[in-house]
Amino acid sequence: MSTTTSVSSTPSTNAELMARRRAALPAGLGQTHEIFVQHADNAEVWDVEGQRYLDFAGGISVLNSGHRHPAVVAAVQAQLAHYTHTCFQVLAYEPYVALAEKLNARAPGAAAEGEQRIHWKSFFMTTGAEAVENAIKIARAATGRPGVIAFGGGFHGRTLMGLALTGKVSPYKKSFGPFPAEVYHAPFPSPRHGVSIEDSLYAIEHLFKADIEPSRVAAILLEPVQGEGGFHIAPIEWVQRLRQICDQHGILLIADEVQTCAGRTGRWLACEHWYEHAGIAPDLITMAKSMAGGMPISAVLGRSALMDAPAPGGLGGTYAGNPLA
């Protein structure tokens, strides 16, 4: 029997590894830099040739706390000594519940008194796209309606529903359709692109006239700050008007905070700014990326009455909310 040498034990140059990558991997997996990492620490990365870099990418907004933060490494190591996987729906574990409690307590309105208090519930998936998919599932189950309105330039993941919601054809949606039905797009306000708040709201009213009646719309989905779309901040006056439209028609407002969560806008969640400045909160929130400092986990948070709409078994996944993450 012939023996094979472990490929990873052979020192290589970036150019050699790029050649192997091209031969072994499909072209659809883009590569921004022709560099292969050897190790990383906090904000620094060293490639296989020993070259040192400052990492401004952070794994696409995943490493707000840097590479291998000591607290993250210690938590993963401690967990490894106990159990790595059980599938939460089959055999539950306390840290899952503790994390949900922690996130629920930090969501907008959770600490308010009396009728103002919002009771949040959360559960976990693995990727941002899965969190978005599940927020839509919950919105549809809770409202009994099919429609979703998203925005031009928005990015919501690479699954088919994520792509349906994404408002950018090239390179994400090109050649992958057809996508799930009942998804509509309106323009996101952007002075840079000459789109005013009124333009965006007019487009939504137009959708209600031309494409779908508001009573069939389950949710309006937006990023508090568009990431892939070019870093456009959702103006607070626009979010207030969206909240009004939602309240008027029984539509749910979903904040996709996959990229904006974990302190990226100066608050744990970007929608905390909405709550502080205008007293408004979304109905559902998605989180992922930096919430776990480099470990793969995502979350869906929602007002408790909505979160209980799907029947038992309707939510979850084999690895969703993995203990190591």
Ligand X SMILES: Cc1ncc(COP(=O)(O)O)c(C=O)c1O
| 280 or 287: CB nearest ligand X | 287
| 200 or 208: CB nearest ligand X | 200
In whole angstroms, what is the distance from residue 195 CA to residue 175 CA? 28
In whole angstroms, what is the distance from residue 241 CA to residue 184 CA? 18
Do 227 and 259 meet the contact criterion of CB atoms below 8 Å apart?
Answer: yes
Query: Residues interacting with ligand X, by CB under 6 A?
Result: 60, 127-129, 132, 155-157, 223, 227-228, 256, 258-259, 288
Alpha helix segments (H runs only) across 257-303: 271-278
In whole angstroms, what is the distance from residue 282 CA to residue 268 CA? 15
Neighbours of 194 (CB within 10 A): 8
For the CB of residue 162, give the shortest distance to ligand X in the complex, in Å: 6
For the CB of residue 133, give the shortest distance to ligand X in the complex, in Å: 9
For the CB of residue 46, give the shortest distance to ligand X in the complex, in Å: 25
| 228 or 308: CB nearest ligand X | 228
In whole angstroms, what is the distance from residue 171 CA to residue 238 CA? 28
DSSP code of 42? Answer: B
3-state secondary structure of 41: strand
For the CB of residue 81, give the shortest distance to ligand X in the complex, in Å: 28
For the CB of residue 258, give the shortest distance to ligand X in the complex, in Å: 4
Residue nearest to ligand X (CB): 128
For the CB of residue 284, give the shortest distance to ligand X in the complex, in Å: 13
Alpha helix segments (H runs only) across 189-257: 197-210, 236-249
For the CB of residue 324, give the shortest distance to ligand X in the complex, in Å: 17
Backbone angles phi, psi at 41, to 5 degrees: -150, 120
* Rg over CA atoms, the chain: 21
Neighbours of 122 (CB within 10 A): 21
| 125 or 208: CB nearest ligand X | 125
| 60 or 80: CB nearest ligand X | 60
| 47 or 223: CB nearest ligand X | 223
| 76 or 291: CB nearest ligand X | 291
Do 301 and 102 meet the contact criterion of CB atoms below 8 Å apart?
Answer: no
